[in-house]
Amino acid sequence: MNQTRRGLLASVATGAAAIAGCAAPRSADSEGSESPYTRVYSEVLPSVVVVHVADNGRKVGQGSGFAIDPQTIVTNHHVVDPGATVTVRLADGEWADASVVGSDRHSDLAVLDVGSAVSVSETLSFVTEPTPVGAEVVAIGAPFGLSESLSRGIVSARGRSVQGLSRFSIPAAIQTDTEVNSGSSGGPLVDLAGDVAGVVFASQGGNVGFAVSAALATRVIPELRETGSYDHAYLGVTILTVEPQIADANGLDRPRGVLVVETTDGGPSDGVLQPSITDSGDADSDAADSDTDDPPANGSEPTPDEPTPDQPQSGAAAIPTGGDVILAIGGSEIDNTDELSRVLALETRPGQTVPIRVLRDGEEIVVDVTLGTLPDA
């Protein structure tokens, strides 16, 4: 019997065994293979801590955090904001007093120092490139106080603007379907390589959670460590994404850019960008009557929620017209309020003069705006 025939018969025999319900023996490698979630959990867990906050000896808050060096912990601003005394429980069960080195309510980030009495054995690094939509991620923290918990999911979207602790949004946020709950805040959202894609800060239920992106965190955290605070760029406008009805009302050939509804008196854009008027002829100070489902953009004022489409309306809200339509800031095209928020947060700084390309009275022009500092309120 020649080699070809023997090979063919061997293949047939293997197929027959499979048909008979027999499986080929698993290799030692497959038997000993480890789940990627088990591996990343074991690698990341030593860096994760539980953060306790007390006021006058009474516990007032709890969250999660993670070490970026042996004495430095990253968590959320809202985790440590309520109280004066902060302690952390390390993964090995040891407790340590911590001091707040810096905190920023606009990004909801805080940095803690656990001093030299303890040392976190393992530390985490942030991703250097944005984690793509669809990539698997895990969150490790203490939801509902249940420490050392892991949940898994994917990156659902990037570049979200999410309502934060002030009237301004947290820009460039990661949306994930990874289960996060009260107590998860401040913990790491990591990719399967064990690098931090974001810092968990919010959940809206229904498997919709959010994390401060690594891109924003790596801008804010170094300054929190060095100076205790961080200044965000501020444009000082109320804006709306140009959707079809706004484009039609403003005579635009297609929906594009964001409409300047209002400029803040005395703000960076006052007298430089042209705000809208409503169709009733009132000044743009009536912008609170306009419709939008856009969240507040960082560096801009918030805009109101849009009424639910299937609810009866007592009267149609006025559509603002006549204002500048922002098309680009610097070299970045602006398609919606989320993108304007992202560009301001990640590509500009207070005091910087930026060229802004706008559509005004049917013509594209470029104006220069010197950015301010985002107010604390």
Active site residues: 78, 108, 185
Measured over the CA atoms of residue 293, residue 299, residue 300 and residue 303, the dihedral's sign is: positive
DSSP 133-201: TT-EEEEEE-GGG-TTEEEEEEEEEEEEEEE-SSSSEEEEEEEE-S---TT-TT-EEEETTS-EEEEEE
What span, in angstroms and rounded, lies between the C-alpha atoms of 124 and 195? 6
What span, in angstroms and rounded, lies between the C-alpha atoms of 100 and 111? 6
Of 46, 34, 343, residue with least CA distance to 188: 46
Burial, 206: exposed, middle or buried (Cβ in 10 Å; 0-12, 13-18, 19+)?
exposed
| Cα dihedral value 132, 133, 138, 139, nearest 10 | 100
Continuous segment of H or E residues that includes residue 87: strand 85-89
| Contact status, residue 137 vs residue 190, Cβ threshold 8 Å | yes
